[in-house]
C-alpha cells in the first residue's frame, strides 16, 4: 500500500506541484482560459460542437461529483435531474410561453424538489440500496417522460427557442460553446468553494466516518440531502442549457447509459477532485470520438478501462494529493 | 371475458413472470448472503445465459430438435458455462475488492455489467436475435382459461430448480457451510471451512440459475438481445428485496409476489402496460422505505 503511494507521489508529484505553487497555478489557469477562448477559431466547427458537449459533461460531472465524490453516495440515476431541468425548460417555454431566463429558476426548483423527493426517504438506507433506488428513480423519470402527454411521449419536445441575452440571440454552435464555457467556469468555481466550505468539510467527515461525524453534531441526513439538492441543481442547469442548445429533447437522452457516462466521468479522472473530474469529462466525450474507428467495440474498450481503473487505480487517473494518501 | 377469467389469466401470467424473477432473484440473494455485494452484473448473466443457450440449441437442434428436450440440454449447457463465468468474475473482479470501500466494489460490479453488455453488443451487433426454439403452442382449457403446455413446463422447471436449491442449502453439509459463511465469514475461516470455495460455488449456482432463466425466457419469448438483462436485473433485485435480501425462500416468494403484482397491476384502470415498469420500481422504493428487511429477511446492520 505505502509502496504504491510512493510511486504514485513520484508520478504525480510534478503535476500536483503545479496546483500547489500559486504562481504556476495562476499561469496554468490563464493558459487554460486563453485556450478555451481561442479554441473555436483553431479547431473549427465540428470540434467546437464536441468541445461544447465536453463542457456540458464537465458541468454534469461536477454536479454528480458533489453527490458521489463529496458526500460518498452512489447515484445511478443522475440523468433524472438532467431530464427534469431539460423538460421543465422545454414545457415552460413551449406551453406557457415563458422566457428561457424565467424558466431556468423554475427548472432549478423542480430539480431541487425532485432531489428532496428521492433523497428524503432513501438517504437513511444502506449505501447499496440507495444506488438501486436512484437507478429505479432514474428509470421512473424516463418512463414517465415517455408516457406522459405533456412531455411529448416518446418523440419528446421540439422547437424549443434559443434564448436571447441583451438583445442578442444565442444561436450558432460557437455562441453555445462560449455559453457552456461560462457555465463550466461557474460550475468549477462553485464546486471549489463548496469543497472548502463548512458544508464541504461536513461531507468529507460523513464520507469518512458517518457515525463519528454524527457524534460530533453533524446531522448526516441533512448534510446528505444538501449534497443531493446541490447535485440536482447542477444537473438541472446543464439540462436547461442542453435543451435550448439542441432545441429538441427526447426521453432516450436521459437513459441509464447517460447516468453511467456521467458517473464514469467522475470516477475515471479522480473522484472528489475537481481537476480529475474535468479530465474525466473530457475523456468520456473525446475518448469515444478518438476511438470512433472501433465502432461498437469502443464502449467495450471503455467498460474494460473502467474495470481496470477500479482494480488498479481505485482513486482515479489524477486523484490529487490527499486522495493518494 | 368476465372478472374471474381475467383474474385467472393474470394469475397464470404472473406465475410465469414470477418464475423468471425468482430464478434471477435467487442469485442476487445468495451472492449478497456470502459476500454482502449487490452483483449489478447479475442481470447480464441472465442475458449471457440466453445467448449461450441459443448457441447451444442451434448446435444441437439438428439432433434432438428444438422442443423442450433440446431446450433443456441447451439450458444445462448454458448453466455450466455461465456458472463458470460467474466464478471467473468473482475471482477477477470482486475478490480483490472485498476489503475496499463499499462504493468501489459497487462501481466494479457496475463495470462488470457494462463489460458483459458491450461484449455481447460487439459480438451480436445489438439487434434482437430470434431464438429459434420450436416449442409449439399446444395447451388445454380450464373453463374459458387457456393454459399453454409451455407455461406449465416453465413454471414446473423453475419450481424444480428452486426445490433442489432449497434441499441443497438446508440438507447438505456444503449447504450448511454456505449458510455459515453468510453469517460470519471470519469465524468460518477459523473453523476450517474453505471460504473461497464456498464463495465460488455460490457464484456458480447463482449464475447458473440466472442462465437457466435466460435460456427459458429466450425460448419462451422467442428473442434475445444484449440489453435484456438490465430490466430483469432491476426487477429481480426488487423481488429479492421484497422477499428480504439474503433469504433464499424470500427470493422465491418475492419473485412470485412481484410477478403477480405486475400482472395484476397492469389491470388497474389508469395503470396501463406502459406504466408496468414504473409500477414495479415504485413498489421497490416503497418496500425499501417502509420495510427494508422485506417479507422474510432479518434486520441487518451496515458493515463499517
Which of A3-7, B60-64, B234-238 ranks highest by mean pLDDT?
B234-238
Q: Is residue A143 part of a domain?
A: yes
State the alpha helices, DSSP H only, in B227-298: 228-243, 248-265, 276-290
Is there a contact between B302 and A126 if contact means CB atoms under 8 Å apart? yes
Q: Is residue A141 part of a domain?
A: yes
Of A135, A263, A310, the CB nearest to B108: A310
Residues of A in contact with B119 (CB under 8 A): 300
Q: Is residue A271 part of a domain?
A: no
Q: Is residue A261 part of a domain?
A: no
B270: left (phi over 0), alpha (psi -120 to 50) or beta: left
- Residue tagged 428561457 (cell numbers): A100
Taking the C-alpha atoms of residue B43 and residue B237, their distance in angstroms, rounded to an integer, is 9
Pick the closest to residue A76 from A37, A15, A118 (CA basis).
Answer: A118
Range of the domain at A146: 45-255
- The answer to whether B25 and B206 are in contact (CB under 8 A) is no
Contacts with A, B 55-74, CB within 8 Å = none
**Closest residue on chain B to A305 (Cα):** B111
Q: Is A263 touching B (CB cutoff 8 A)?
A: yes
Is there a contact between B292 and A143 if contact means CB atoms under 8 Å apart? no
In 3-state terms chain B splits into helix, strand, coil percentages (rounded to 5) of 75, 5, 20
Q: Residue B160, class by beta-carbon neighbours within 10 Å (0-12 exposed, 13-18 middle, 19+ buried)? A: exposed
Query: What's the DSSP call for residue B131?
Result: -
Q: Which residue has the higher pLDDT, A176 or A15?
A: A176
How far is A79 from chain B, CA to nearest CA, in Å? 16
Cell of A267: 470516477
Number of domains in chain A: 1
Q: Is residue A319 part of a domain?
A: no
Q: Is residue A270 part of a domain?
A: no
What's the pLDDT score for residue B299? 61
Handedness of CA B23, B36, A135, B88 (dihedral sign): negative
Taking the C-alpha atoms of residue A202 and residue A195, their distance in angstroms, rounded to an integer, is 9
Is there a contact between A256 and B230 if contact means CB atoms under 8 Å apart? yes
Count other Cβ atoms within 10 Å, centred on residue A33: 12
A298: left (phi over 0), alpha (psi -120 to 50) or beta: alpha
Of A140, A297, A310, the CB nearest to B104: A310
Taking the C-alpha atoms of residue B253 and residue A163, their distance in angstroms, rounded to an integer, is 54
- The answer to whether A203 and A70 are in contact (CB under 8 A) is yes
What's the pLDDT score for residue A15? 53
Q: Is residue A233 part of a domain?
A: yes
Taking the C-alpha atoms of residue B227 and residue B214, their distance in angstroms, rounded to an integer, is 12
Q: Which residue has the higher pLDDT, B134 or A57?
A: A57
Q: Is A105 touching B (CB cutoff 8 A)?
A: no
**Closest residue on chain A to B291 (Cα):** A125
What's the pLDDT score for residue B300? 55
Q: Which residue has the higher pLDDT, B15 or B288?
A: B15
Q: What is the pTM of this model?
A: 0.84
How far is B175 from chain A, CA to nearest CA, in Å? 26
- The answer to whether B270 and B277 are in contact (CB under 8 A) is no
Q: Residue B84, class by beta-carbon neighbours within 10 Å (0-12 exposed, 13-18 middle, 19+ buried)? A: middle
- pLDDT over 70 (residue A33): yes
Average pLDDT value for residue range B144-163: 89
Is there a contact between A267 and B288 if contact means CB atoms under 8 Å apart? no
CA distances from A229 to A91, A115, A117, A186, A313 (A): 22, 5, 10, 17, 30
CA distances from A308 to A10, A92, A155, B35, B97 (A): 21, 44, 38, 21, 12
Q: What mean pLDDT is reported for chain B? A: 87
Of B111, B117, B288, the CB nearest to A306: B111
Q: Is residue A22 part of a domain?
A: no
Is there a contact between A125 and B288 if contact means CB atoms under 8 Å apart? yes
Q: ipTM of the assembly?
A: 0.79
Average pLDDT value for residue range B220-229: 90
Q: Is A184 touching B (CB cutoff 8 A)?
A: no
How far is B253 from chain A, CA to nearest CA, in Å? 20
Of B96, B126, B241, the CB nearest to A311: B96
Q: Is B93 touching A (CB cutoff 8 A)?
A: yes
- pLDDT over 90 (residue B295): no
Amino acid at each position: 500500500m505505502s509502496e504504491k503511494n510512493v510511486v504514485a507521489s513520484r508520478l504525480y508529484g510534478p503535476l500536483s506541484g503545479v496546483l500547489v505553487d500559486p504562481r504556476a497555478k495562476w499561469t496554468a489557469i490563464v493558459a487554460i482560459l486563453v485556450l478555451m477562448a481561442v479554441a473555436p477559431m483553431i479547431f473549427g466547427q465540428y470540434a467546437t460542437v464536441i468541445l461544447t458537449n465536453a463542457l456540458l459533461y464537465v458541468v454534469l460531472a461536477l454536479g454528480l461529483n458533489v453527490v458521489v465524490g463529496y458526500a460518498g453516495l452512489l447515484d445511478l440515476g443522475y440523468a433524472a435531474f438532467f431530464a427534469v431541468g431539460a423538460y421543465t425548460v422545454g414545457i415552460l417555454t413551449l406551453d406557457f410561453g415563458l422566457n428561457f431566463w424565467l424558466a431556468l429558476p423554475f427548472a432549478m426548483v423542480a430539480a431541487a424538489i425532485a432531489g428532496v423527493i428521492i433523497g428524503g426517504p432513501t438517504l437513511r438506507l444502506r449505501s447499496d440500496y440507495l444506488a438501486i433506488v436512484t437507478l429505479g428513480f432514474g428509470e421512473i423519470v424516463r418512463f414517465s417522460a415517455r408516457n406522459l402527454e405533456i412531455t411529448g411521449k416518446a418523440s419528446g419536445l421540439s422547437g424549443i427557442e434559443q434564448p436571447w441575452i441583451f438583445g442578442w440571440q444565442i444561436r450558432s454552435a460557437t455562441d453555445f460553446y462560449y455559453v457552456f464555457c461560462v457555465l463550466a467556469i461557474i460550475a468549477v468555481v462553485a464546486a471549489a468553494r463548496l469543497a472548502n466550505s463548512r458544508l464541504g468539510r461536513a461531507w468529507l467527515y460523513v464520507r469518512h466516518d458517518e457515525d463519528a461525524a454524527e457524534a460530533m453534531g453533524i446531522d448526516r441526513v441533512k448534510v446528505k440531502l444538501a449534497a443531493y439538492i446541490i447535485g440536482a441543481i447542477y444537473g438541472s442547469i446543464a439540462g436547461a442549457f442542453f435543451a435550448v442548445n439542441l432545441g429538441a429533447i427526447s426521453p432516450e437522452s436521459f437513459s441509464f447509459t447517460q447516468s453511467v457516462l456521467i458517473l464514469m466521468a467522475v470516477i475515471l479522472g479522480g473522484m472528489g477532485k475537481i481537476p480529475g473530474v474535468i479530465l474525466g469529462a473530457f475523456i468520456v466525450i473525446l475518448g469515444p470520438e478518438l476511438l470512433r474507428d472501433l465502432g461498437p467495440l469502443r464502449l467495450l474498450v471503455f467498460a474494460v478501462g473502467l474495470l481496470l481503473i477500479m482494480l488498479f487505480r481505485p482513486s482515479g487517473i489524477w486523484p490529487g494529493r490527499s486522495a493518494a494518501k | 371475458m368476465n372478472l374471474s377469467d381475467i383474474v385467472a389469466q393474470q394469475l397464470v401470467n404472473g406465475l410465469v413472470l414470477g418464475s423468471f424473477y425468482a430464478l434471477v432473484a435467487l442469485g442476487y440473494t445468495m451472492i449478497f448472503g456470502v459476500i454482502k455485494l449487490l452483483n449489478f452484473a447479475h442481470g447480464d448473466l441472465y442475458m449471457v445465459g440466453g445467448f449461450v443457450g441459443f448457441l447451444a440449441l442451434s448446435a444441437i437442434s439438428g439432433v434432438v430438435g428444438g422442443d423442450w428436450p433440446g431446450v433443456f440440454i441447451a439450458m444445462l449447457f448454458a448453466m455450466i458455462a455461465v456458472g463458470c463465468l460467474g466464478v471467473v468474475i468473482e475471482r477477477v473482479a470482486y475478490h480483490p475488492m472485498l476489503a475496499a470501500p463499499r462504493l468501489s466494489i459497487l462501481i466494479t460490479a457496475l463495470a462488470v455489467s457494462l463489460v458483459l453488455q458491450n461484449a455481447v453488443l460487439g459480438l451480436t451487433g445489438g439487434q434482437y436475435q430470434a431464438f429459434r426454439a420450436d416449442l409449439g403452442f399446444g395447451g388445454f382449457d380450464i373453463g374459458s382459461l387457456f393454459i399453454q403446455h409451455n407455461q406449465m413446463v416453465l413454471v414446473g422447471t423453475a419450481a424444480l430448480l428452486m426445490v433442489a436449491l432449497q434441499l441443497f442449502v438446508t440438507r447438505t453439509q456444503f449447504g450448511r457451510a454456505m449458510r455459515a459463511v453468510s453469517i460470519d465469514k471470519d469465524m468460518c475461516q477459523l473453523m476450517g471451512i474453505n471460504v473461497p470455495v464456498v464463495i465460488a460455488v455460490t457464484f456458480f449456482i447463482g449464475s447458473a440459475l440466472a442462465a437457466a432463466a435466460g435460456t427459458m425466457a429466450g425460448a419462451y419469448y422467442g428473442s434475445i438481445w444484449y440489453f435484456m438483462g438490465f430490466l430483469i436485473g432491476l426487477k429481480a433485485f426488487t423481488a429479492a428485496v421484497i422477499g428480504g435480501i439474503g433469504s433464499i425462500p424470500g427470493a422465491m416468494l418475492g419473485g412470485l409476489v412481484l410477478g403477480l403484482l405486475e400482472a395484476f397491476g397492469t389491470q388497474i384502470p389508469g395503470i396501463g402496460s406502459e406504466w408496468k415498469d414504473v409500477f414495479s420500481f415504485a413498489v421497490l422504493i416503497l418496500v425499501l422505505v417502509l420495510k427494508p428487511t422485506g417479507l422474510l429477511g432479518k434486520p441487518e446492520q451496515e458493515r463499517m
